[in-house]
Chains A and B, each alone.
Chain A
Amino acid sequence: MRDLYTRLGVSHTASPEEIKMAIEKCANAGVKADAEAVLLNARAKPAYDRLNSFLGDVGTLRASLGLNHGAHWVASDTNDYTKEAASGRSEGMNAAKSSTPDRSKSKSKNEKVKPASGGVFSIVTRYWYPVLLIGAVAWALFQADWRQPEHEATAPQEPSFSEPVVPFPVTGTARYPDGAEGVAPLKIKTSPGSDYYVKLVEPPSDRPVMEVFVKGGTTVEVSAPLGSYEMRYATGKTWYGPEHFFGPETSYSKADQLFAFSRDYRGTSGYTVTLYTVQNGNLRTESLPRSQL
């Protein structure tokens, strides 16, 4: 099963006209014929849409539960619904090859993860076979942010700030200012509302090694260079470019733990960072003066 919308390059909620236009422009004859038979067929489309969105959900859960390499997922040809950045996926597969004998071990480790005993709503640690992912959850600062009364958030902007609004850069494309090689998986989940500019900085030199933009509400997977880094980020609602970040309402913060990306015989270790308030989160953040971002 394929996600015909993605293959046509339109959104899942595209209108019939948009779909028709995209089909006309589609260069792949197979996709074109299938999209015509399915998306332009009043009877087929609802059934297809339902299965399509269902598989999207299954893909999301599989990614979150570390089941992207499950035997029953690959076999049923569901690549279009696997929620991982291409780089992350190949990384995972490479590592899987090198550590196949450990599969059972790593699985049993997986099963020892504490259950979400707080009921059905807490998510904490996640493992991603064969890559160990430590769920890190920013919480202290965002709790403060979250609790801010509405009127503060919507307060009129300072009149002195009149920089032009700049389109938010492409989400999820990592840049490596000094040419480091991205190797280890780093997954950043964000909640809708605010956008994020995230960067990894090498202490104590404060040399930035990676930066990435994340649109609020999306999850990105990027490859971080090997090493131990600090994570700092700026967040806000309106992007004014790299000079002003999110304008006067930017909040700057850093995670108060070091992120160690390493590779050994067990595979490559990386992290999942969730940038919103989560109960029982295991990462705290502290606020940062702008000059230190």
Chain B
Amino acid sequence: MSVRSAGAHGRKNHDQWILSSSILVALGWLATCDGHLDNKELARFTAIAESSGITNPNDIKALLSLAEYKDLEALDAACRVIRERCSGSNARLFMEMAIGMAIADGVLVTTENHLLRFFADLVGFSCQQFNSLFRDATGRPLPQPTDLSSRAYWAGVDADDENRKRSRQRSDEARNRADRVPEITEAYAILGLERGASKDEVKRAYRRLAQIHHPDRFSSLGDASVAAATSTFQRIKAAYDLLVKYA
């Protein structure tokens, strides 16, 4: 990871700061757009902010609250900076970094899906480009955003709940044995694999994702992006380590 050199000054430094803080605002929006910010997400965001020189917890809170309380003018301005500065090869890097952050937990929720699509339009990615980038960066196809305004969706949710309740009762005695099941499921999801994928597949998926999300690639986007990629990379590595050990 790169560390900001204390002697850096002048225009370049200022430009870097503007890009970094704009990307932080965008990442804060990604982190808060699903309506809640859990401790894991907060810790991750804090680490990213700190690496780009923002260490005061109040400043970090302020950055997050721009998205949380929908300061649209700030988001608008941040988006303009990102559009301006993330053209060409940087556009691709920015999208890869954002995708890595969005599927932090192996799940892409609907708001994140819409937000990634918004970013894709912002930096000028076509549908085809974005779909293939998403597939490369996650190992799975980009899902359609869920339509929460349809009765069919909610009927499905209720049915799912019923099933889950029933299966939970059945598997009560199996719980001890299944202690690690959620973690393992999440680990497969982070690597973009189905449960029960072979060791070989796990290894291949890890190599591919590690290459894409390797922090060194993101240095041209500034410290915040490098830190975001680092966090994504660490998660991918942890998932891999877990699967190698237990699966």
A27 to B117, CA, bound (A): 33
Residue of B nearest to A50 (CB): B35
B42 at the interface (CB under 8 A from A): no
Shortest C-beta distance, B20 to chain A (Å), equals 12
User: Of A34, A71, A76, A117, which contacts B151 at CB under 8 A?
Assistant: A34
List A67-112 residues whose CB lies under 8 Å from chain B: 67, 70-73, 75-78, 107, 110-111
* Contact stretch, chosen from B72-80, B197-205, B210-218, B234-242: B72-80
Chain A interface residue count, Cβ-Cβ cutoff 8 angstroms: 48
Given contacts A38-B149, A123-B77, contact A61 B121 (CB under 8 A): no
Residue of A nearest to B79 (CB): A65
Residue of A nearest to B21 (CB): A120
Chain B residues whose C-beta falls within 8 Å of the C-beta of A210 in the assembled complex = none
A240 at the interface (CB under 8 A from B): no
Chain B residues whose C-beta falls within 8 Å of the C-beta of A165 in the assembled complex = none
A259 to B35, CA, bound (A): 42
Shortest C-beta distance, A255 to chain B (Å), equals 22
List A103-144 residues whose CB lies under 8 Å from chain B: 107, 110-111, 113-117, 119-123
B85 engages A115 (CB within 8 Å):
yes
B76 engages A76 (CB within 8 Å):
no
Chain B residues whose C-beta falls within 8 Å of the C-beta of A73 in the assembled complex = 117-118, 121
Q: Mark B64-96, 1 if CB is under 8 A from A, else 0.
A: 001000101111111111011101000000000
Chain A residues whose C-beta falls within 8 Å of the C-beta of B66 in the assembled complex = 120
User: Of A1, A115, A117, which contacts B148 at CB under 8 A?
Assistant: A1
A57 engages B151 (CB within 8 Å):
no
B84 engages A72 (CB within 8 Å):
no
A71 to B129, CA, bound (A): 11
A76 engages B144 (CB within 8 Å):
yes
Given contacts A65-B76, A75-B127, A115-B18, contact A44 B118 (CB under 8 A): no
A51 engages B148 (CB within 8 Å):
yes
Chain B residues whose C-beta falls within 8 Å of the C-beta of A47 in the assembled complex = 148
A149 to B148, CA, bound (A): 47
Chain B residues whose C-beta falls within 8 Å of the C-beta of A48 in the assembled complex = 148-149
Shortest C-beta distance, A20 to chain B (Å), equals 16
Chain B residues whose C-beta falls within 8 Å of the C-beta of A117 in the assembled complex = 18
A120 engages B150 (CB within 8 Å):
no
Chain B residues whose C-beta falls within 8 Å of the C-beta of A64 in the assembled complex = 72, 76
B74 engages A120 (CB within 8 Å):
yes
* Contact stretch, chosen from B108-116, B182-190, B220-228: B108-116
B121 engages A1 (CB within 8 Å):
no
Residue of B nearest to A70 (CB): B121
Q: Mark A250-288, 1 if CB is under 8 A from B, else 0.
A: 000000000000000000000000000000000000000
A-B contact count (CB 8 A): 128
A37 to B156, CA, bound (A): 12
B114 engages A54 (CB within 8 Å):
yes
A37 to B118, CA, bound (A): 28
A58 engages B126 (CB within 8 Å):
no
Chain A residues whose C-beta falls within 8 Å of the C-beta of B87 in the assembled complex = 111
Chain B residues whose C-beta falls within 8 Å of the C-beta of A75 in the assembled complex = 117, 127
A62 engages B18 (CB within 8 Å):
no
Q: Mark B172-195, 1 if CB is under 8 A from A, else 0.
A: 000000000000000000000000
A41 at the interface (CB under 8 A from B): yes
B118 engages A72 (CB within 8 Å):
yes
A62 to B83, CA, bound (A): 12
A14 to B124, CA, bound (A): 38
B150 engages A67 (CB within 8 Å):
no
Shortest C-beta distance, A50 to chain B (Å), equals 5
Q: Mark A141-173, 1 if CB is under 8 A from B, else 0.
A: 000000000000000000000000000000000
A57 to B144, CA, bound (A): 20
A113 to B76, CA, bound (A): 14
Q: Mark B143-164, 1 if CB is under 8 A from A, else 0.
A: 0110111110011010000000
B79 engages A61 (CB within 8 Å):
yes
B127 engages A121 (CB within 8 Å):
no
Given contacts A61-B79, A111-B87, A117-B18, contact A72 B127 (CB under 8 A): yes
Q: Mark B97-114, 1 if CB is under 8 A from A, else 0.
A: 000000000000011001
B83 engages A65 (CB within 8 Å):
yes
User: Of B35, B110, B114, B149, which contacts A34 at CB under 8 A?
Assistant: B149
B51 at the interface (CB under 8 A from A): no
Residue of B nearest to A31 (CB): B149
Given contacts A61-B118, A76-B117, A123-B77, 6 further A-B contacts (CB under 8 A): A50-B34, A61-B75, A67-B121, A72-B127, A76-B144, A113-B84
Pull 14 A–B residue pairs with CB atoms less than 8 Å apart, ordered by A. Answer: A2-B147, A36-B151, A38-B148, A47-B148, A52-B149, A61-B72, A67-B118, A71-B121, A71-B126, A78-B114, A110-B83, A120-B77, A121-B74, A123-B77
Please provide the 7 A-B residue pairs with the shortest distance between their CB atoms, ordered closest to farther. Answer: A70-B121, A37-B151, A72-B117, A116-B77, A115-B84, A2-B149, A120-B77
